[in-house]
Amino acid sequence: MAKENELPDSYEYILDKFGEEKLLSRYTWLYDLMENFLRIKNYEDNVIISSDILNHVVIDYFVDIDRLKLFQNIEKTHESKIYAYSAYWLLRHKPMQVVVADQGEKYAFVNEEFVSDLIRSYLFSDPDNIPVLNNKKDVVDNFVGTLLYYFKYREYSAKNIEIMLLAFEAGRGYQYSVDHQ
């Protein structure tokens, strides 16, 4: 039996704490996004989604969120944490697996590509009616390209992904307020 503020030896407590429906919902959300990404990229014949690995992504995500809620004494998880911790575990476990021997290098960073697209969708979802300024489109495109490079070749953590998301949102909020003065 775990003491207060200690985690049990098994991850069964995650299922008890969050409920099967919530875990299944997160799994389905991620799976559907990945499936759509593979279809759009025309990768579906060469890359599969490993259900077992995606299960690990979901469990590890909820373990981290549970710890955050406990240590930071928070009740509701901010959306930036949801995306940051999901991104981290997707990058860490790599649930999309290449199933072809030839052209494997084309698909080598499929998980990193997906996470970059996932983060881009989050950053540009709200407010979705605010366009990128014409003279800033290159800056935004460079940012997204740098994300992919960063996920491929640099060290990352859920915490630094989260602060990057928050910094982007702060900059966007500043730009929005300047544009509407």
Place of tokens 């875990």: 23
Decide if pLDDT at 1 tops 50.
no
Q: Is residue 29 a contact partner of residue 56, using CB atoms and an 8 Å limit?
A: no
Q: How many C-beta neighbours within 10 Å does residue 107 have?
A: 19
1-22 average pLDDT score: 69
Band of residue 180 on the pLDDT scale cut at 50, 70, 90: low
Identify the burial level of 176 via C-beta atoms within 10 angstroms of its C-beta, where 0-12 means exposed, 13-18 middle and 19 or more buried: exposed
Strands 47-49, 96-98: pairing is antiparallel
The pLDDT of residue 103 = 80
* Closest listed residue to residue 30, CA positions, set 7, 50, 6, 9: 50
DSSP-H helix ranges across 42-157 = 51-72, 79-93, 104-107, 110-123, 137-153
Taking each helix axis from N to C end, the angle separating 137-153 and 110-123, rounded to the nearest 10 degrees, works out to 140
3-class secondary-structure state, position 33: helix
Give me the percent of the chain exceeding a pLDDT of 70. 82
The pLDDT of residue 5 = 44
pTM: 0.84
Q: Is residue 44 a contact partner of residue 98, using CB atoms and an 8 Å limit?
A: no
Q: Which residue has the higher pLDDT, 155 or 181?
A: 155
Give me the percent of the chain exceeding a pLDDT of 90. 54
Band of residue 132 on the pLDDT scale cut at 50, 70, 90: low
Decide if pLDDT at 155 tops 90.
yes
The pLDDT of residue 37 = 97
The pLDDT of residue 6 = 47
Decide if pLDDT at 101 tops 70.
yes
